[in-house]
């Protein structure tokens, strides 16, 4: 019987975890600290070993368990009912190799679950440095659909199957949008068993903890918190063209003197390892044959609330600053698109060519041989411009002999979902979208 916690919110990755448990001897759940990995893993586990403080119990007991695990990693797994959840495995990195070895020898599927907030293939965490024989599931914070803030009236998978776009209506007000960005998708903020949590606490705590424990030893101990805040703020400020290492370095150095490029690059590398920053790769493939493309990955934050916290922006300021709110909205939409796309077996890329002034499309979702282009637009008065960009993309690719998109879509903060008569582009409010 699984150890599912009372009040557990089902996650879209639950299906992927079940699938991978049937394919691999062990499955690793990876993502930013506080996104709900342990709770989700408990939903699939029959026993658990904590190597980090789970919020209850003594620090001493965790310390003792870690000491035993370091001396004899296999010992803490003996007698445990499987699947066994090993929560916080990076505290004892050798656990990874032990689990992999046991799983390989036994040739049994679904034996172990591992959770951690550090990427196992970067640095020297794992002696073998390979994760090919352990299934990996990337978890993110709650999407609007998972948190109950999206009606789910418009299904991404159904749009790919050719289902006609039906009318749907948004409940998203400017005030609600600011709230969603400030609070983010941290499960802690939705925990009804706890007293009402201030929206800024989870992301603020995350940043403080990352600066204190994860970055201080690796980057610049004296200025870690300041550098981290400025790097995260730079990612939040730079929306288009795609955020790059160079644009972040230029932004941070112009606002915060005395920081070297190497320090900023080191900080970014650690933030990627901690899943704070995520890369959206460029869409290219066969497109390279006829178009000059910008092949720079796009950087986004794991959750829009991290940007709010890094910018130290109050809700009233966000509501009155369309540039900041637009960036937060794009971050929120891309987070949700990544979650929805992966749950249906699709991938998300971005498009940026170098023709003329350059055409950038924030998201291209590929499902098998099908693809769809997505613009992201906060301001309803610019829907026409966003739709024009999508039809321009369609025309350029048709000229190169690339198959037409299954559909084109503007994700908006508007009041309703509809199909534009003149160009067939869909317009869908973000709080109507679902997998």
Tens-digit pLDDT profile for residues 85-126 = 999 888 888 888 888 888 888 788 999 999 988 776 443 444
pLDDT of residue 56: 44
**DSSP string computed for 42-94:** HTT-SEEEESS--SSS-HHHHHHHHHHHHH-TTGGGTTPPSSEEEETGGGSTH
Query: So what's the pLDDT on residue 379?
Result: 87
Spatial CA neighbour of 142 closest among 181, 193, 184, 204? 184
Q: Cα–Cα distance between 241 and 362 in angstroms, integer?
A: 10
Q: Is the pTM for the entire model greater than 0.85?
A: yes
Closest CA to 394 of 417, 423, 357: 423
Half-sphere exposure of 173 (CA within 13 A, CB side): 3
- Strand 168-169 to 298-301 pairing: unpaired
Mean pLDDT value across the chain = 83
Whether residue 426 contacts residue 391, with contact meaning beta carbons closer than 8 Å, is answered with: no
Check: CB of residue 206 under 8 Å from CB of residue 185.
no
- Which residues of the chain are in CATH 3.40.50.300 domains? 13-138
The confidence score (pLDDT) of residue 128 equals 46
Beta strand residue intervals within 151-236, DSSP E = 154-155, 168-169
The pLDDT value recorded for residue 217 is: 54
CB atoms closer than 10 angstroms to residue 218:
14
Structure tokens at 187: 């499960």
Neighbour-count burial for 295-316, b at 16+ CB within 10 Å, e otherwise: ebbbbbbbbbbbbbbbbebeee
Which pLDDT tens digits describe the chain residue by residue (435 residues)? 578 888 888 999 999 999 999 999 999 999 998 899 999 999 999 999 888 766 544 454 665 666 666 767 777 788 889 999 999 888 888 888 888 888 888 788 999 999 988 776 443 444 444 445 789 999 999 999 999 999 999 999 999 999 999 999 999 999 999 999 998 999 988 865 554 445 555 566 666 666 555 555 555 555 666 777 778 778 777 755 566 777 888 888 888 777 888 888 878 887 888 888 899 999 875 555 566 777 788 889 999 998 888 888 888 999 998 888 998 999 999 999 999 999 999 999 999 887 656 788 999 999 999 999 999 999 888 999 999 999 999 998 888 888 899 999 999 999 999 999 999 999 999 999 999
CATH tag for 13-138 (out of 3.20.80.10, 3.40.50.2000, 3.40.50.300, 2.60.120.10): 3.40.50.300
Q: What is the pLDDT of residue 124?
A: 40
Residues 156/433, Cβ–Cβ less than 8 Å: yes
Query: Using H for helix, E for strand and C for coil, what is the string for 367-424?
Result: ECCEEEEEEEECCHHHHHHHHHHHHHHHHHHHHCCCCCCCEEEEEECCCEEEECCCCC
Per-residue pLDDT, 2? 79
Cα(184)–Cα(306) distance, integer angstroms:
8
């Amino acid at each position: 019987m699984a150890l599912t916690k009372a009040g557990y919110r089902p996650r879209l990755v639950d299906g992927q975890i079940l699938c991978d448990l049937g394919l691999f001897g062990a499955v690793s759940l990876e993502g930013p600290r506080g996104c709900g990995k342990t709770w989700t893993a408990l939903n699939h586990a029959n026993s658990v070993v904590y190597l980090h403080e789970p919020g209850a119990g003594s620090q001493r007991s965790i310390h003792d368990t870690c000491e035993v695990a370091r001396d004899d990693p296999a010992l803490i797994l003996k007698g445990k009912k499987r699947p066994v959840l090993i929560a916080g495995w990076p505290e004892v990195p050798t656990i990874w190799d032990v689990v992999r070895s046991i799983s390989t020898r036994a040739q049994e599927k679904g034996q172990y679950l591992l959770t951690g907030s550090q990427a196992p293939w970067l640095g020297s965490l794992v002696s073998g440095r390979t994760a090919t024989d352990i299934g990996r599931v990337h978890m993110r914070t709650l999407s609007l659909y998972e948190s109950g803030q999206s009606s789910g009236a418009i299904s991404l998978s159904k749009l790919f199957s050719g289902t006609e776009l039906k009318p749907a209506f948004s409940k998203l007000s400017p005030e609600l949008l600011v709230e969603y960005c400030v609070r983010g998708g941290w499960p802690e903020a939705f925990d009804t068993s706890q007293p009402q949590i201030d929206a800024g606490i989870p992301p603020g705590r995350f940043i403080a903890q990352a600066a204190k424990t994860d970055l201080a030893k690796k980057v610049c101990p004296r200025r870690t918190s300041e550098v981290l805040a400025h790097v995260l703020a730079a990612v939040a400020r730079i929306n288009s063209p795609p955020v790059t290492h160079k644009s972040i370095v230029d932004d941070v150095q112009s606002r915060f003197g005395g920081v070297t490029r190497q320090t900023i690059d080191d900080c970014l590398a650690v933030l990627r390892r901690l899943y704070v920053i995520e890369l959206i790769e460029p869409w290219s493939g066969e497109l390279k044959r006829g178009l000059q493309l910008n092949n720079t990955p796009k950087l986004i934050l794991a959750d829009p609330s991290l940007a709010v916290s890094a910018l130290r922006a109050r809700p009233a300021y966000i509501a009155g600053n369309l540039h900041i709110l637009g960036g937060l909205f794009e971050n929120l939409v891309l987070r949700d698109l990544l979650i929805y796309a992966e749950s249906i077996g699709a991938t998300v890329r971005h498009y940026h060519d170098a023709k003329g002034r350059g055409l950038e499309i924030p998201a291209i979702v590929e499902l098998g041989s099908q693809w769809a282009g997505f613009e992201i637009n906060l301001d309803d008065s610019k829907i026409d411009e966003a739709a024009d960009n999508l039809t321009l993309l369609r025309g350029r690719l048709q000229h190169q002999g690339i198959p037409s998109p299954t559909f084109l879509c503007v994700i908006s903060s508007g009041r309703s979902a509809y199909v534009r008569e003149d160009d067939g582009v869909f317009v869908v409010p973000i709080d109507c979208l679902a997998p």
